[in-house]
Amino acid sequence: MKYRQIADILRERIRRGRYKPGETIPSYPRLRELFEVSDITVRKAVALLVNENLLRMERGRGKGFFVMPPAPARSSGRRLHRLCILPVNLPQSDDPAIQKGITAAVEAEFGSLILLPDFADADSRLRCLRSITAAEAADGFLINGQLFASDREAAGVTEYFDSCGMKYVVIYSCECRSASEFFAAGRPGVFMNERDALRRALLRAESRGNHRLLFLGIDGFSVRRSIEVARALDLAQKFEFAEIILDELEVKNLFHSFERVLEEAVRPGTTVVLEGSNLPLSYFDSLLAARRLRPGRDVSCFFFEHYCNLESVFFSKYSSISRPYFDLGFKAGELLRRMVAAGTPGETITLSAAFNDLGTI
């Protein structure tokens, strides 16, 4: 249902802090314009969020729908006053949204968080972790998988924590080899299932008669990782895979670079899988507007979200695969809180990415 998709987008914006507690969401007319839907569709979407206590309506002067403050986390009998989150604020990181989920789960004050400095190498990171552990300066560690420069480092850090009895939870916001190995080993963590959402997107492409997938972006790692997830699907043999990775360093020429690949994008039978970060989406969106090409009619495309700071307007214009960053952090925080406060064993938790179908495939 269209209104549920709009509610999902607004809910995620609230969770990511795009609409903060006490602020209003856009007005009905603005939402109608943004999502290109009817008034009744917008009203039903907003009503869902009101029923979930995410929004409250005020009448009169200053009227509108205001974001409600988050409900206080359930008391665990003991608060994690010394929580170490690794890493913090990496460029193009998932951390900001994940950290909001963590702190909502563990009731942590900012002053109680230990934020790991940005070390240049794995040995320096491990020495810092050893010093924190030796000084008993942390109750537990929440480790974003982005911290690890290699699978070897990931194994070394977690094996060290195991050897000294330190509680930890790993967080993987995407599917990758390291995440698969951690999951198979039963290490405590929260993991992402992207395959089901991607499978739905590819089934939609197949239903349109498209059997060529063109993965397009500027971050080679993100593009190739998306291809790796797609190739692991049971219907992968039905598709031809192609990739185009543009040079991010030539920012001034990116628009012309996207122009050069447009012929590939509009080839019959092709569905474009866009890297879900702001720069490539902005250029692709501008190019389609300049050429008066309409997604879903002239170009079959969707994007695969890669970073939590993605501009929300793209979610209202293109079909997408999105990740529940806030929920990843919240589930990880809850798990670590139980492990430390109640002595419960660690476990593996899997969350699923969502396929948001706006008809652009």
* Confidence band of 71 (pLDDT split at 50, 70, 90): low
How high does pLDDT run on average in the chain?
A: 81
**174 closest CA partner among 197, 152, 153, 155:** 197
Q: What is the pLDDT of residue 95?
A: 60
158-173 per-position pLDDT tens digit: 888 888 888 889 888 8
Q: What is the pLDDT of residue 250?
A: 54
91 has a pLDDT exceeding 70:
no
* Confidence band of 271 (pLDDT split at 50, 70, 90): very high
Q: Which of 94-98, 122-126, 166-170 is the least confident region?
A: 94-98
32 has a pLDDT exceeding 90:
no
38-54 per-position pLDDT tens digit: 888 999 899 889 888 88
236 has a pLDDT exceeding 90:
yes
186-214 per-position pLDDT tens digit: 889 999 999 999 999 999 999 999 999 99
Give the residue-averaged pLDDT of 111-126: 64
Pick the more confident residue, 263 or 115: 263
Q: Strand (E) positions, the chain?
A: 55-58, 64-67, 83-86, 113-115, 140-144, 167-171, 189-193, 212-217, 240-245, 270-276, 300-305, 320-322, 348-352, 354-356
**Phi, psi (deg, nearest 5) at residue 69:** -65, 150
Q: How far is CA 312 from CA 34, 62, 132, 227, 308, in A?
A: 10, 25, 38, 24, 10
Q: What is the pLDDT of residue 231?
A: 95
Q: What is the pLDDT of residue 343?
A: 82
Q: Which of 74-78, 106-110, 313-317, 335-339 is the least confident region?
A: 74-78
